[in-house]
Chain A
Amino acid sequence: MNYVVAGYSITLGILFVYAVSLGFRRRRLARAVAAVEAARAPVTPPDPRSPQ
């Protein structure tokens, strides 16, 4: 029975940790993308300053 408990907890534990890490990675990236896009938005309009 020890092996059974160990098997369930280790296997499901790995899957759970992986799932949580996926969630964190996604959230961090979403924040980074949002930050980059927010920082970019006000810069784009003055387009004519390109050297022509």
Chain B
Amino acid sequence: MWRDALLVGGKDLRIEARSRVALAQIAPFGMIVLVLFAFALGPDQSPLVHAAPGLFWVAVLFSTVLAVQRSVAVEAGDATRDGLRLAGLDPAGIFLGKAAAVGAQLLVLQAVLAAGVLLLFGARVVHPWLLLGTCLAGAVGLAASGTLYGALSAGVRLRETLLPFLLLPVVAPVLLAGTRLWQSSLAGGAPDAGASWMRLLLVFDAVYVALGVVVFGPLTEAA
């Protein structure tokens, strides 16, 4: 299973390394979202700093939708899905590999967006480790749930419009937990119950990773 995961994840990341879709299109899209938020909220520094954690996570969520659509599109052409199945790969491995590839791209996106938030909005980090941990846990959860919904919508007509509609409400807890955790790790934010939010995020991760490992086989077979 782990070997298959490495193979599939490596394949997706190599495709990304050659096509540069995530870096050249999705990351700039996220930055545009941040800039648009700044336009919407006005040029004053204080509301921007106040809203920075939420804006960051909203931008990450939108980018997740694009990253997942890209991850599905990679398999859509040339009957690649059938190819993966014919190659005898473990479905759980395929799931973990694809999720890991999406997660890795999300981490890069988060780094770009975090730099944007810190530079453009002038937010200051107080607890860098909490910030990093939140990003990592958020990326795992978004990648796992996104990959599941990507597989669900893979064979569906109209999936471009359906996927955000299905995925975004499901990942609402990641937005809530991520925002709260960022608020407590940035300067000026109220230090509230960070531990319980982190636990919530980890539960979300565990649930969707486990669900994917168990369900990905029946979900993709004979779709």
Direct contact of A and B (CB under 8 A): no
- Chain B interface (Cβ within 8 Å of chain A)? none
- Chain A interface (Cβ within 8 Å of chain B)? none
